[in-house]
Amino acid sequence: MEISKPTLREQFGEIDIYLFDQLLKGRIVPGMRILDAGCGGGRNLIYFLREGYEVFAADADARSVAVVRAMAATLPAANFRVEPVEQMTFDDACADLVISNTVLHFARDDAHFKAMLDGSWRVLKPGGLFFCRLGSTIGVENLVKQIAGRRYWSPDGSERYLVDDALIAMHTERLGAELAEPIKTTVVQNQRAMTTWVMRK
């Protein structure tokens, strides 16, 4: 009797393509502890759960955390916490990989952005990998409209806190981090820009 193989969607779910790229490059390997800071419904965790990684996650939305707990029923419920990323109660330096996928651009202002970033960075082990995707002005500088500070309106109708090259470089240096690879930005049909920021602690 032939055993059916899982489909790509069953195996990887809706994993961010740039996070998948880190898997392909061998930067994420079995045995690593994964912490998704701002996990939402857990779309980036399906592969790691299927492959038996030790997974932790936090999100301010209780319904999202409930979905992730149901997906990860074999792991302790305490691994998945209802709390904002700037106030996570996980131990310092507890994770080999921290995922911050489409989270930081929901910051209210500079102070909130720094608190969210620092809260996510705190739980990363020395030598660990920080994977971040967030909105930016890179490549759409003439298309976005400033609301206040770093909050911008984008042509897709969103209002978000948007970073640029200089801010990324400043925080990378402030954290004492090194870039695992060059900053990459995708401009989505002149509607918005999403930047991939991967750092080593």
- Least reliable range by pLDDT among 7-16, 48-57, 88-97: 7-16
For the full predicted model, state whether its pTM sits above 0.85: yes
What is the span of the domain harbouring residue 19? 8-200
On the question of pLDDT at 12 being above 80, the answer is: no
**Mean pLDDT, all residues of the chain:** 96
**Span 2-6, average pLDDT:** 74
Asked if the structure places residue 2 within a domain, the reply is no
Over residues 108-121, the pLDDT tens digits come to: 999 999 999 999 99
On the question of pLDDT at 100 being above 70, the answer is: yes
Distances (CA, A) of 79 to 23, 66, 70, 84: 22, 12, 12, 14
Per DSSP, the three-state class of 142 is: coil
Q: How confident is the model at residue 11 (pLDDT cuts 50, 70, 90)?
A: confident
Alpha-carbon gap, residue 60 to 81, rounded angstroms: 8
Asked if the structure places residue 1 within a domain, the reply is no
Q: How confident is the model at residue 155 (pLDDT cuts 50, 70, 90)?
A: very high
On the question of pLDDT at 196 being above 80, the answer is: yes
**Span 77-81, average pLDDT:** 97
Which of 93, 125, 107 lies closest to 60 in space, CA to CA?
Answer: 107
Q: How far is CA 42 from the centre of its chain?
A: 11
Which of 85, 91, 92, 48 lies closest to 65 in space, CA to CA?
Answer: 85
Which of 10, 24, 17, 130 lies closest to 71 in space, CA to CA?
Answer: 10
Q: How confident is the model at residue 24 (pLDDT cuts 50, 70, 90)?
A: very high
On the question of pLDDT at 1 being above 70, the answer is: no
| CATH code for the domain in which residue 188 is found | 3.40.50.150
Q: Are 53 and 30 in contact (CB under 8 A)?
A: yes
Alpha-carbon gap, residue 39 to 92, rounded angstroms: 19
Asked if the structure places residue 16 within a domain, the reply is yes
The DSSP symbol for 163 reads B
- Count: domains in the chain: 1
Asked if the structure places residue 24 within a domain, the reply is yes
Q: Are 92 and 72 in contact (CB under 8 A)?
A: no
Q: Are 166 and 138 in contact (CB under 8 A)?
A: no
